[in-house]
Amino acid sequence: MYLPWHLPTVSHYNVHWSEEGGAEYPIPPAGDHPPSAAHVPLPAVLGSPLVKALVLTAYNRLEYLDVPEPAAGPEEVLVRVAYCSVCGSDITALEGRAFDVPEGMILGHEVSGTVAAVGERVRGLALGDRVALEPAVPCRRCWYCLRGQYHMCPQTLHLGASLPGGFAEYLTIHELNAHRIPAGLSLREAALLEPLGVCLAGLRKARLAVGETMAVFGDGPFGAIFARLGIIMGARAVWVLGHHDWRLERIRAPHVVTVNTAREAYLPALFAATEGRGADLAVAATDSTTVYAEMLASVRIQGRLLAFSYPRDSVTLDLSQVHMRELELIGSCRCPHTFATLIELIAEGRLAPGELISAVMPLEALPEAFAMARGRSKELFKILVELAAEV
């Protein structure tokens, strides 16, 4: 096991998922953590204060540890984490199913906080600045970086995957990854800029145009975000197709059609609403592997398919359809060039990410938050972990 800190275990959790999709998690009783071991004196060699973190010490195992406070490099800032929201990919990483996240990593990449220290070459940020973090840290020198496609940098390091992430009191990150937020934007909302950003980047890449009809498969947080952004970007209608009434009711809005596809057929209505053509764009906002067949059936001739969510398993796609109907299959990953736009849209009241926040929990409850996010009840969107409340 790779565990960079070699520090005493405070308490640990083994997280088990039941077959039905629910989660079993032994949450220790209040007061069981952090016990006295949390305050074991630092080895003198480390010489830095301890901060709290929930560490992935082995797959399906999180340990609540005291780790040394990280030190900002010359171009980095030290961020006191305020909020880190739970993402489906954190659960994938917890289970060791993808992303090559090493054991010993601190997960969490949807982060807001306050600048607590700056490296000697930092020019754009100052102590006390409130920031939202863009989690992919590129090299800024390679062919992709120099043409502005920095999110595809082959050298990318990623918060919560290859860099210690936001489920900790402090982290360090390159100053260009920390976006200052205005006074009117809360740190809670700012923790959601990354999930908003990946959706905005996806819709830009899929060239959603004014007057188009979009079909979004999946009624989770991403389905909700695609619905809001799709309308802002001028879609005539966004159809959100899912299985969860609670979520679909909250996603429904003017020009947003929601259908529980477990009960209702949607294709006849979708085709009727588009003069028999089908949607211009279909989005995979679920990890289901069968969704691509539905996307093929729902788009028009020369329609576009956006491969957005990381699929649970390998997907079979009928490429003869792509050929015969001149379809486009478009991939999208990460959130380049999106934060400034999102900050403005929220400041103007056109986007209200606070509506996605279903629960706010302390760091110690992260295993519970993971279990809720993974659990059978889908009566929630995003769970925020609160490291430092906004004052």
Interface residue list for Zn ion (CB under 5 A): 87, 138-139, 142, 145, 153
Q: What is the C-alpha separation between 355 and 363, in angstroms, rounded?
A: 22
Beta carbon of residue 165, minimum distance to Zn ion (angstroms, whole number): 10
Strand order in the sheet with 9-14: 9-14, 61-68, 50-58, 105-106
Q: What is the C-alpha separation between 271 and 275, in angstroms, rounded?
A: 6
Determine whether 295 is exposed, middle or buried from the number of CB atoms within 10 Å of its CB (0-12, 13-18, 19+).
Answer: buried
Q: Are 80 and 169 in contact (CB under 8 A)?
A: yes
Which helix (H) or strand (E) is 23 found in, with range?
strand 23-24
Structure token pair of residue 308: 């957005």
Q: Are 145 and 139 in contact (CB under 8 A)?
A: yes
Beta carbon of residue 371, minimum distance to Zn ion (angstroms, whole number): 18
Which helix (H) or strand (E) is 267 found in, with range?
helix 267-273
Closer to Zn ion at the Cβ: 115 or 198? 198
Closer to Zn ion at the Cβ: 142 or 322? 142
Beta carbon of residue 161, minimum distance to Zn ion (angstroms, whole number): 10
Q: Are 76 and 128 in contact (CB under 8 A)?
A: no
Q: Are 219 and 174 in contact (CB under 8 A)?
A: no
Beta carbon of residue 64, minimum distance to Zn ion (angstroms, whole number): 22
Question: What angle separates helix 193-205 from helix 221-232, to the nearest 10 degrees?
Answer: 60
Beta carbon of residue 49, minimum distance to Zn ion (angstroms, whole number): 29
Closer to Zn ion at the Cβ: 142 or 361? 142
Closer to Zn ion at the Cβ: 131 or 270? 131
Q: Are 217 and 295 in contact (CB under 8 A)?
A: yes
Beta carbon of residue 144, minimum distance to Zn ion (angstroms, whole number): 5
Beta carbon of residue 76, minimum distance to Zn ion (angstroms, whole number): 17
Beta carbon of residue 379, minimum distance to Zn ion (angstroms, whole number): 20
Amino acid at site 369: A
Q: What is the C-alpha separation between 149 and 201, in angstroms, rounded?
A: 12
